[in-house]
Structure 1
Amino acid sequence: MNLDEFYRASSHLDPKLTLLVAKAHHYVPINQLTIDKTSLLLDTNSQSHSQFATITLDQFMTRTSQLSPQVDLRTANNHQLIFGFRIVNKSIVFY
């Protein structure tokens, strides 16, 4: 999935939804975004001032607004391409 596909798929969602990534049988909060060549890496291991803060959809859109829409979304730990997402409770879960 690239940024353009995610923007189109999430354009009508609540901007307060938090962003998570599925790891094994758990959902882990995304708390850092990193650019690596043509990919945007979604990281779950970065510690912030308030322990492990979770990025919301609104924050994600603001932080990525200047990037090319063709940038791929990938996980930071193994650079696996994100294929989609689903809504679970009040969160967007990438898989």
Structure 2
Amino acid sequence: MNLDEFFRASSTLNPKLTLLISEGQHFLPVNQLLIDKNSLLLGKSSPSQGGFATITLDQFMTRTKRLSLKTDLRTLNDRQLIFGFRIVNKSIVFY
């Protein structure tokens, strides 16, 4: 999935939905965005005392609006291409 596909698929969704990554049987909060060549890597920062907030759809759109629409979405830990998402409760879960 690239940014253009994600923007079009999520354009009518609630901007306050949080972003999660499906990892095995668990959902991990997306709170780290890194650019690597033609890819945007979605990940979770290592925990600290204060913890890290999960990025909302609105925050994601704001932070990525200047990137090329052809930018691939990938997971940070294994750089696997994200193929889609689903809505679970009040979150967008990438898989």
Q: TM-score range by the shorter chain?
A: over 0.9
Structure 1 gaps of 5+ residues are: none
What amino acid is the match of 1:38?
N
CA distance in 1 between counterparts of 2:49 and 2:8 reads 32
Structure 2 gaps of 5+ residues are: none
TM-score with structure 1 setting the length: 0.95
* Matched length: 95
Q: Deviations over 1:43-81 (max 9, x none)?
A: 112457841210000000000000000000000000000
Runs of 4+ in structure 1 off by over 3 angstroms are 46-50
RMSD of aligned Cα (Å): 1.4
Mapping 1:6-85, distance limit 5 Å: 6-47=6-47, 50-85=50-85
What amino acid is the match of 1:61?
M
Are positions 1:3 and 2:3 aligned together?
A: yes
- Confirm or deny: 8 A CA contact 1:74 1:82 kept in the other structure: yes
TM-score with structure 2 setting the length: 0.95
